[in-house]
């Protein structure tokens, strides 16, 4: 699914804050996850 709901975004933000992951690293992880699930 292409769209992330507000609840999912809030959960991801909570995880980033809890694990102390900076925004740039989080963006890289999210981009990698999107690329992994793209059809070839």
Query: Is pLDDT at 19 greater than 60 in this prediction?
Result: yes
Mean of pLDDT values over 13-18: 92
Place of tokens 């102390």: 20
Instruction: Write down the pLDDT at residue 3.
Output: 72
- Report the pLDDT value the prediction gives residue 29, as an integer from 0 to 100: 87
**pLDDT of 1:** 54
Element (H, E) at 8: helix 6-19
Residue found by looking up tokens 């980033």 in the block: 16
Domain range list for the chain: 6-36
Task: Classify residue 20 as left (phi > 0), alpha (psi -120 to 50) or beta.
Answer: left
Q: Which residue has the higher pLDDT, 5 or 13?
A: 13
User: Is 4:13 a contact under the CB 8 Å cutoff?
Assistant: no
- The pLDDT mean for the chain works out to 86
Structure confidence at residue 14 as a pLDDT band (50, 70, 90): very high
């Amino acid at each position: 699914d292409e769209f992330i709901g507000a609840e999912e975004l809030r959960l991801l933000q909570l995880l980033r804050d809890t694990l102390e992951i900076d925004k740039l690293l989080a963006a890289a992880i999210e981009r990698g996850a999107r690329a992994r699930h793209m059809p070839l």
